[in-house]
Amino acid sequence: MEPTGTVEYEPVSVKAVLSEMKDTAELLIDLSYSAVLLGSDDVAGEVLELEAKMDVLQLRARMSLLMACRSPDDAESLAPVLGMVGAAEKISDAAGDIAKVVLEDIGLPDTMRAALPEAVETLVRATVRSDSPLAGQTLGTLNLETETGVRALAIRRQGSWLLNPTRETQLQAEDVVLLRGPEDGVSDVYQDATGEPYEPPEPPEGDTQDLERAVDSIVLMKDMGELAVDLAYGAVLFDSEAVAEEVVELEAEVDALQSRFEAWTLRAAADMDDPVSLRGLVHLARSTEVISDAALEISEGVLRGLSTHPVVAEAVRESDEIIVRATVAEESELAGRTIGDTAVKTETGMRIIAIRRGAGESDRTGREGGEWVVSPGPETPLMAGDVLLAKGTRTGADRLDALTGPSERA
């Protein structure tokens, strides 16, 4: 997005800016891929609005860091922080490039969206009307997530963004709300907000094999990119070299996936009358690689043995979506059962992004040992002594505490 306006130095909290950049980067990944899978110009437009916000945030963060650097020791401790600022900016730029695939009709097979309902939940952009029954109500009072399964991801109000709104957040007339959830629930909430019926896009018919390859590849790339960023922030927060090494492995997997994805695209192009219509897939693969590379940059300080700067740890702790580390106690109802059996996500709203098993003696650097299970699924068993890294809201973290025992908050 083209830069607009003037940004001047003003005293701001580096911690607050870093926290906002983290939340914005994570939302941008989600929205950009959703815009592609939904074929939504509206959602893609919101991505570019958020990208413009990120440009301002990164400039302010850089100015504040330059003002804070007064000695060689400062330079050494703040260098990884500057790297994290740059990484968040790269994620933002990559998300903008993904959105432009939709806005500029760069080229995507229409058949890709035919299997969409099975691939992702519905995401819509709704403007709250003044006479809407939602106007003036808090999200807690409306109880949207419990009643409909729909979550408000973000709200844009008079040009300002509110990311990951809480139960106390009040919806106001003219708010632009980004909603995610099952199609039935989204349909009801959208109509309440806008006064108009929700009309889902008609999925076109197409080749089933091509559909499965395209949708599965893009959803996998999106999930891997999000996971790499989550783990990178977890590695920084808990100063865990083991988690940072998992980010390295994920980045390598994304590179391999990109190669396979590009090979599939070229093979598919040979059988098409208009191979240019697949150009957008190449853009998606390239942008996904940029996101995974940025995750590696976030965790680079940990990999190089540099201690996490306190301002970074505090920024991650104060972000809207928090990361927690919890140990499964012997008496926990989770011990001896699978993630699916315990319905952790349903019961707490927290998503387990990694599990450390066999936590033994610390290594020579003082960091914790043990084998990591990254991106566990419903069939993954949980055992007493397992250390869980989970992501979600503070309320969800309280619920997770009740299941596992007290957790360390981010």
Write out pLDDT tens, residues 378-400: 888 888 888 888 888 777 888 88
Judge contact between 62 and 17, C-beta under 8 A. no
- The verdict on domain 118-194 having CATH code 3.30.70.1450 is yes
Of 3.30.70.1450, 2.120.10.30, 3.30.565.10, 3.40.920.10, the CATH number of 321-409 is 3.30.70.1450
Q: Which residues contact 195 (CB under 8 A, 6 or more apart)?
A: 129, 131, 132
In 116-265, beta strands by DSSP E? 122-127, 151-157, 160-163, 176-181
Residue 124 DSSP class: E
* pLDDT at residue 9 in the model: 56
The residues pairing with 179 across neighbouring beta strands, listed in sequence order, are 124, 152
- pLDDT, position 171: 95
Q: Find residue 326's DSSP bridge partners.
A: 388, 407
d(Cα 305, Cα 300) in Å, to the nearest integer? 9
DSSP element (H, E) containing 201: none
What residues does 152 pair with on adjacent strands? 179
CA distance 246 to 236: 13
Name the phi and psi angles at 346, rounded to 5.
Answer: -70, -40
Length of the chain: 410
pLDDT tens-digit profile of 344-375?
877 787 888 888 886 544 443 344 456 777 77
Q: What is the three-state SS of 150-176?
A: CEEEEEEECCEEEECCCCCCECCCCCE
Res 33: pLDDT: 85
Which residues are CB-neighbours of 392 under 8 A, at least 6 positions away? 321, 322, 324, 348, 349, 350, 351, 400
- Extended beta strands in 24-182, E state: 122-127, 151-157, 160-163, 176-181
Return the pLDDT at 203: 56
Query: Rounded to whole angstroms, what are the CA distances from 163 to 20, 85, 267, 314, 316?
Result: 8, 18, 41, 18, 14
For residue 199, which phi and psi values (nearest 5 degrees)? -115, 100
In contact, 344 and 352? CB cutoff 8 Å? yes
Strand, coil or helix: what is 388? strand
Q: How far is it, in rounded angstroms, from Cα 218 to Cα 257? A: 10
User: Check: CATH 1.20.58.220 for 14-114+207-312?
Assistant: yes
Q: Using CA of residue 366, residue 371, residue 373, residue 378, what is the dihedral sign? A: negative
> Which residues of the chain does CATH 1.20.58.220 include?
14-114+207-312
Low-confidence stretches of the chain (pLDDT beneath 70): 1-12, 107-121, 201-216, 320, 358-370, 406-410
pLDDT at 214: 60
pTM: 0.74
Query: What residue ranges of the chain are covered by domains with CATH 3.30.70.1450?
Result: 118-194, 321-409
CA distances from 341 to 1, 118, 358 (A): 45, 22, 22
From the list 30, 32, 38, the residue with the least C-alpha distance to 110 is 38
- What are residue 181's DSSP bridge partners? 122
Output the pLDDT for position 134: 94
